[in-house]
Structure formats: C-alpha cells, structure tokens
Structure 1
Amino acid sequence: MGAINHEGTGVCRLGASREITAHTIGRIRSQLIRRLADQHEVEIDCSMVREVDTVGIKGILALRNEALRRHITLRFVSRNQAFLLLLEQMATVAH
C-alpha cells in the first residue's frame, strides 16, 4: 500500500493492493494503522483491487471503525462503483 500525501490538502492517499483478502488484510491493516497515527483524513484508492473476500470486507469495516474511533475521515475511492456500493451496504448492515 503506497502513500501519497497531497501537499496543502491534508489528505493522505493510499493505494490498495490488487486483492483485499484473508492473505493480505493483516498487512494492509498494519500499514493503515501506522498512517492513521498522524493523519486527519485518509483516502484509500481501491481502483486496482480485483479480488475481495469476506475476510477482506470484514477487515475494511474494522479499519473504518478504527478511523471513526480516532476521529479520522476515512474514504474509499474507486472507479468500480459496484465495489463502493458493496462497502456502503456492508457498513450499513454492520451498524
């Protein structure tokens, strides 16, 4: 997960790996938790994501909850609207 800090905007943009699965969510989580320590706004670009499993979705929801707990804005962006809709629906079900 590479990071790009947009100068002047205060937004840290992270690029997600090609898959968010049981095999990758631990690494993604540890990298994101390190970033959350010093950011107020984080975007995760999921445009390159091609595979997501249920453990990946659960991990994404846990990351969103961690960001909320820390009062950090966390947004997921993607060209894949179906992926974003799935995240939105899963977040609604989780509450």
Structure 2
Amino acid sequence: MLLPKALSNHNAILLQSEAQEWGPKPFKFFNFWLEKEGFDDLVKDTLQTQRLSGHRRGIGGILYDSKIAIKDWARANCYDSRNKISKLESQIHEMELEIQSGGQH
C-alpha cells in the first residue's frame, strides 16, 4: 500500500502497521493568529476573566484557560488549520493514486 507523500516526492511503502494510541495531539499555535482581528481582545478578555474569577491557579491555569479560548476562537473563525491540512493531504493522495493507476482509480 502506498502512503501519502506530504513532505517528499517519494511514497513510503507500508510493510507492517500496528495501531498506537499516543494520546491527545499537542496544542499548536500559529503565528498568523497574532495578526488576525480580535485575537488581542481574546487574550485580554481571557486574562481579565481569570483575574476576576478569584481563582488563583497559577501560570498553569492561565495557560490552560488561554489554550481553550484560543482553540475555540480558531474554530469559530475558520482558522482550524489542522482540519484544512488533513483535507488537502487526502485530496493530494487521491490524485496521486489516480495518476499512479493510469487514471483508472
């Protein structure tokens, strides 16, 4: 079976596969979010809300609440790049399979 070639001009060949559960994917921050309208207000509002809540959870709590707010904001504003990238990689892989099969896919 040929695997997608997202970062190379060669296809990897899958010889053996075992399912691995690595847990949730890590949070990714994209620098272009800093330039989007509303991002600064989101961060300010998140910090203000946490300050006014009276819960003293430390830097870990601040980062966790900020991460949740940023993820929600990104999804609501169509900046969910992970899904877009995955969709595009699938489309590219389908095109590659069709080309490799001589258009008979």
**Which of the five TM-score ranges fits, normalised by the shorter chain?**
under 0.3
- Structure with greater proportional helix content: 2
TM-score computed with the length of structure 2 as normaliser: 0.24
Q: TM-score, normalised by structure 1?
A: 0.26
Q: Which is richer in strand?
A: 1
